[in-house]
Amino acid sequence: MKAKDPVTGSNVAIKLASIAILRDKVLLKRFEQEYRSTSNLDHPNIVRALEFGWVGSRPFIVFEYVEGEDIGARIARAGKLPEAEAVGYIVQIAQGLHEAHKSGIIHCDLKPDNILLTLNGQAKLADLGLAKDLESNMELTCDNRGIGTPNFIAPEQFGDAEHSGVRCDVYSLGATLYMAVTGKMPFAGADLSAILEQKLADKLMPPKRLVPALSDHVDWAIRRALLNDPDRRFGSCPEFIAALAAEGKKSGSHVLRPSKSIGRKPSAKLNRPAKERRRAVRYECVLSTKCIINLSVHPDGDDPSTPWDAQVCDLSVTGIGVLVSRRFEPGSVVSLVLASKSGDFERTRQVRVLRVTRAEGSGWFVGCELLEKLSRDEVRQLL
């Protein structure tokens, strides 16, 4: 939320830990880690963390306030960005990331929604909630909770998030630039397994095929950054920056040859959580609800979340099907405010998106698992 610093009078953004974070020791440590990671970084392209404190039993972080919008919102509003503008933003973020890398910090979850744009065109990297301190002994990225947003993270992060490195962040930079210049997701699968299969097989639609006017060297740089094999990507942010500036053209051919790992299938362990499993009876229903996306730093208002009207189509103690106007990527965690038709009974639950399919007419059908189950009595009251 937006607030004022009582000493300087300047605007600041306050991130307050949610109740869900307080209930989970790993998430709570990760919240504290976000402040430690960011407070040690002083770079014009990284949102600065100013203070850490507690309100009762809930911790909070005070960040510098960024007046503007994020790249994800810009793309949703205006469509794909002009090449020069998109590359300019990514180069700025790459410079900030390189500073973090030099300090031993890996972001692990870079995506369009985490890049804030000031009114004068400066790009700032936000949300180091999954950041990994290479000098820390805290293993906060070694389970499924350490997986960042699936479409933008490197394939190796799906199964080995503990060993995320610089080349993972380079991959995310490439994925973000792909979406910025094309207006499309680089890998738009219906579920986690489908996305991972495309990544492992390097099944990427070349951005230049979608935007013929795109420069050859930018097309090549994006495709190299998004290669499945980490050893074949750029080894650092400065290398990626040089390629975007066309300097990389002098160093060798722009032909990307198939990797030997193409065709490798995801393991059974990775397949299991990606598939929606109906472990309880689903009841068809029509309930109004709101999908709420929690943001680390909200760029343009006092409310630290963005609500989207939705309609519940079926409900059980463990899962829910929702019809919504926007696409939520598989793996996303959103909050749903569930209310009975009479309005006298309400529950709020966080859900994880498992499957996304186009609905007839318009909108998206989103199949989710409830991170905290409903009781049978609660389901009956909602219905």
Local confidence pLDDT in tens for the 383 residues of the chain: 666 776 676 777 777 777 777 777 777 777 777 677 777 778 888 888 777 778 877 887 777 878 888 999 999 888 899 999 999 999 999 999 998 888 788 887 889 988 999 888 889 988 765 445 434 433 444 344 444 478 888 888 876 656 678 899 999 999 999 999 999 999 877 788 888 888 998 889 999 999 999 999 999 999 999 999 998 999 899 999 989 987 444 444 444 544 443 333 333 333 333 343 445 566 666 666 666 654 333 333 333 445 667 888 888 888 888 888 777 767 677 788 888 877 788 888 888 888 888 877 667 888 888 888 888 888 888 88
The residues with which 312 forms a beta bridge, in sequence order, are 287, 322
Phi, psi (degrees; rounded to nearest 5) at 288: -80, 145
φ, ψ of residue 115 in degrees (nearest 5): -115, 110
Residue 240 in contact with residue 234, Cβ under 8 Å? yes
- Find out whether 329 and 362 touch, Cβ atoms under 8 Å: no
Q: Is the pTM of this model over 0.85?
A: no
Distance CA 94, CA 253 (A): 23
> What pairing do the DSSP bridges indicate for beta strands 115-118 and 68-70?
antiparallel
Distance of CA 144 to the CA centre of its chain: 14
The per-residue pLDDT for 306 is: 55
Q: Which of 270, 273, 276 lies closest to 197 in space, CA to CA?
A: 270
The residue whose two tokens read 């050893």 is 231
The pLDDT value given to residue 290: 61
For domain 70-273, which CATH number applies: 1.10.3720.10, 1.10.12.10, 1.10.510.10, 1.10.10.10? 1.10.510.10
Q: Which fold has domain 276-382?
A: Thrombin, subunit H (2.40.10)
CATH 1.10.510.10 spans which residues of the chain? 70-273
How far is Cα 25 from Cα 154, in angstroms, rounded to an integer? 26
HSE, CB side, 13 Å, CA atoms: give it for residue 239.
Answer: 16
Domain with CATH 2.40.10.220 in the chain: 276-382
- Residue 246 — left, alpha, or beta (φ > 0 → left; ψ -120 to 50 → alpha)? left
Determine whether domain 2-64 maps to CATH 3.90.870.30: no
Q: How many other C-beta atoms lie within 10 A of the C-beta of residue 29?
A: 14
d(CA 306, CA 297) in angstroms, rounded, equals 11
Cα Rg, the chain, nearest whole Å? 21
Provide the H-helix boundaries in the chain. Answer: 19-22, 25-39, 71-78, 83-102, 156-159, 166-182, 192-200, 207-210, 216-225, 237-244, 268-274, 376-382
Kind of pairing between the strands at 333-339 and 346-358 = antiparallel
For CATH 3.30.200.20, the residue range(s) in the chain are: 2-64
Q: Which residues are catalytic?
A: 109
| Helix or strand (DSSP H, E) at 323 | strand 319-324
Phi, psi of 199 (to 5 degrees): -65, -45
Dihedral sign of CA atoms 176, 182, 184, 189 in order: negative
Residue type at 303 in one-letter notation: D
